[in-house]
Structures are given as structure tokens and as C-alpha cells.
Amino acid sequence: MEARIVFPDREIIFPIPDEPIALWHLIDSCNLECAYCYGSFSGGSYKQNIRKSLRENSADLDHARRLTDLGIRRVHFAGGEPLLRQDFWQLAEHFTMSGIRTAATTNGTIYSSREEEGLRSGALHRLMVSIDTMDPSYGNLYREKHSLVLRNLERIVEQRHKDNWSTEIGIYCVVSRKNLQDSIELARWASDQGVDYFSVQPVHLPKDHRLKKELSLRADDLPDIKALFEELEPLRASMRLSHPSYLSLWEPLILNPGRIDRCFAGSELLMINSRGEITSCPAVELIRVEGRRFGHLEGDQIRDQFPSPVQDCGLISFDCICMFEFVHGG
Ligand SMILES: C[S@@+](CC[C@H](N)C(=O)[O-])C[C@H]1O[C@@H](n2cnc3c(N)ncnc32)[C@H](O)[C@@H]1O
Ligand code: SF4
Ligand code: SF4
């Protein structure tokens, strides 16, 4: 299947694998407070919720069973910080035992014997660690605990190779106008370490965010973005990188709004929030639209409505394009 994304000056065809994926925001809290995080968009932070949601949610194993029944082939856990969940590895194991591929994105600060055991057991097919730079001053300015994350990442990759773990290790690098150079250095380091997958994600910030001007990519960054992509390209020989169709969307999206004729959202991709509510896609505007909510994992109504792809959407933006990576196995 393909999606056609139409801009005033070009069309981009984006392949959509026929392999439904659920992006499950397992938890609404986090132990960090990254300045650009989605959690900061309404002026708050995921850290404020931390006391509320550390307990395990006994309903979630039932939710996991329902997702399995729906024919989901892959689950990607995110949050907040998913590894804060006490039952994280139980949930991962449930899916893996049901033949469903599992991935998680973590901030990389939590790596104890529990995580080591979980990774060794193969309960996750891929663990993505979020880190944006090798430079601690940038790393601690917009995220936190940079040296701990780098140290944990090194340990995880080393153990993965030494003990031949099946779990792939990847990096999610959020790219802003201030780390375009740094992300190349990080990618080279990752390739030398034996990281399996390196994904670049453009920072998305709402218009009124205090860091919008400071971090968001704009037209005068295009030469540096082009240079980044060119320098990444040779690294494809040693590790998996972002899909070329996804990278080809960055420039037109910076320059112009576009439309997608048939999105994967609502059919090949479902978003699940920490309360088990299901929506079609991450774009806040679209979630508000009636019909884009698919109900709740506790009810049966989802079965009647899924799949229901979003047609002709003009909201395509950096808010949602990292989802293009997810549907391609990221
Ligand atoms: C919201 S976090 C949740 C998982 C985990 N806490 C982490 O940091 O990896 C998921 C991913 O979104 C990225 N992210 C957060 N805020 C972002 C933003 N405003 N624009 C683009 N990516 C962002 C993070 O760096 C991370 O890779
Ligand atoms: S670690 Fe992840 S969820 Fe937590 S504040 Fe940072 S980006 Fe947000
Ligand atoms: S807003 Fe949703 S439906 Fe529209 S392009 Fe983005 S992910 Fe697809």
C-alpha cells in the first residue's frame, strides 16, 4: 500500500507496510523534565504526574489481550517513561509470547538488573534510547542526565554484542536547529559502537512554545539538513537509518503545508493512551475531531470501527511525521 503526500511543488509516495502497529503511551509520568518534551506543551511536565502513576495498572494485561485480539502485529511502548512501569516487562513478555513484535522508547536513565534480565530474555525486539548529542552541554540543556544515558547506552550495546542478545538497540535523536552537526557526530559514534538503528526526528513545538524560535527547523537550516542527510548516508552500510521517504518529507514540510491522500493513521497505526483510550493519530487537532476516537480497550466498540484510515488529511506536520518511522518498523 502507498500514501501520496501532495505539496504545492511536488508529490511524495510513501510506502505503508501492511502490518498494524499500536503506539501505546503506557504511562503519563517521567523521571526527567526535558525542555522540548510533548509533556511541556501545555505548560506542565510529565514529572508532575510521577506520584500518580508509578503503580502498576492491573487492567493493562487485559488491555494487552484485547490488542492482541485486534490483529496488531507490533506494539511500541512510549510515555512518559515506560520503564517506570512496574509491570513493563510482564506486558512486553505477553506480546512477545503471542508472536507480536515489541519495541520501547526510553530516556535511558533506568538500567538495573531488571532491565538487563528483560533484554537478555528477548521480551523486547527493540529498545530505542533517546539521546540527541555527544556534547553534555547541549545534552543537559534540553534533556537531563546526559552522561548517565551515554554510559547506560554504552553498557547496553556492549552487553548486547558480548552475550548475543536478540534485542536490537537503537537511538532516537531529536534534531533541532542547534544540534544538526552534533547529530552527525552522534551517528558516527553509534555506528562505531555497533548500535543497530539510528533514527533522526525533527523537533516539533507548538507556535507558542518558549523554545519554538530557538529550536524549530526553518528554511535557512535546509543546507545543514541536507548536509546531515548526506553525511548519514554512508552509515547505512553499518546500521539501519531512517527511511528515505520519511527524510524526503522534511524539506517540503518546512517550506509548505501538504496533504496526505490516505494516511496509515487509524488503520495501520493506532494510538493508545495510558487510560486505554484509542485514537487514530498523534495530531492534537485531529484527535479532537469526532470519529477519530475509536473508543476504549475496555469496550468492544473498537472492533466495529477498526480499521478506519484517515483520508485526505491536511494536518500533516512535524507533529506526526515521526509516526512514519514507526510504521516502517522504527
Ligand atoms: C515522549 S518520549 C517518551 C519515551 C521516553 N521518555 C524518552 O524520552 O525516550 C518519545 C520520544 O519523543 C521524543 N520527543 C519528545 N518531545 C519531542 C518534541 N517536542 N519533538 C520531537 N520529538 C520529541 C523524545 O526524545 C523521545 O525520543
Ligand atoms: S524523558 Fe521522554 S517523556 Fe520524559 S521529559 Fe524527556 S522526552 Fe519527555
Ligand atoms: S495528522 Fe494524523 S492523519 Fe493527518 S497526516 Fe498526521 S498522522 Fe496522518
Task: Give 16's pLDDT tier (boundaries 50, 70, 90).
Answer: confident
Give me the CATH number covering residue 193: 3.20.20.70
Distance 37 CA to ligand 1 centre (A): 6
- Its domain, for residue 156, covers 2-329
Helix axes 222-232, 180-193, angle to 10 degrees: 10
- What would you measure as the largest C-alpha separation in the chain, in angstroms? 53
Distance 301 CA to ligand 1 centre (A): 30
Task: Give 50's pLDDT tier (boundaries 50, 70, 90).
Answer: low
Average pLDDT over residues 280-300: 64
104 lines ligand 2 (CB under 6 A): no
> What's the predicted TM-score (pTM) here?
0.95
Q: Which of 130, 143, 204, 325 to mutate to test the pocket of ligand 1 (most atoms within 8 A of CB)?
A: 130
| Rounded Cα–Cα distance for residues 88 and 329 (Å) | 20
34 lines ligand 2 (CB under 6 A): yes
Distance 305 CA to ligand 2 centre (A): 32
Distance 126 CA to ligand 2 centre (A): 19
Q: Which atom of ligand 3 is nearest to the CA of 285?
A: 1
Task: Give 102's pLDDT tier (boundaries 50, 70, 90).
Answer: very high
Our count of domains for the chain comes to: 1
Tens digit of pLDDT for each residue in 219-266?
A: 999 999 999 999 999 999 999 999 888 899 999 999 998 999 988 888
pLDDT at 289 over 70: no
Tens digit of pLDDT for each residue in 147-199?
A: 999 999 999 999 999 999 999 999 999 999 999 999 999 999 999 999 999 99
CA angle, residues 45, 81, 206, in degrees to nearest 5: 40
Q: Which of 38, 127, 199, 284 to mutate to test the pocket of ligand 1 (most atoms within 8 A of CB)?
A: 38
β-bridge mates for residue 54, sequence order = none
Task: Give 284's pLDDT tier (boundaries 50, 70, 90).
Answer: low
Q: Which ligand is nearest to the CA of 77?
A: 1
- What phi, psi does 239 have (nearest 5°)? -150, 160
Q: Which residues does ligand 3 sit against, CB inside 6 Å?
A: 260, 263, 265, 281, 283, 286, 310, 313, 315-316, 320, 323
pLDDT at 54 over 60: no
pLDDT score, position 132: 98
pLDDT score, position 267: 84
Task: Give 96's pLDDT tier (boundaries 50, 70, 90).
Answer: very high
Q: Which ligand is nearest to the CA of 29?
A: 2
pLDDT at 35 over 70: yes
| Rounded Cα–Cα distance for residues 228 and 238 (Å) | 17
Average pLDDT over residues 125-131: 98
| Bigger pLDDT: 64 vs 281 | 64
pLDDT score, position 1: 83
Alpha helices in the chain (DSSP H): 59-69, 88-97, 113-121, 136-142, 146-162, 180-193, 212-215, 222-232, 244-247, 250-255, 284-288, 302-305, 322-327
pLDDT at 59 over 70: no
Contact 218, 178 (CB under 8 A): no
Closest CA relative to residue 156, chosen from 123, 192, 120, 200: 120
pLDDT score, position 286: 52
pLDDT at 51 over 70: no
pLDDT score, position 326: 80
Average pLDDT over residues 136-155: 98
Most confident of the following: 34-38, 66-70, 129-133: 129-133
Distance 194 CA to ligand 1 centre (A): 23
DSSP state of 187: H
Lowest-pLDDT choice from 21-25, 45-49, 83-87, 110-114: 45-49
Amino acid identity of residue 174, one-letter, is V
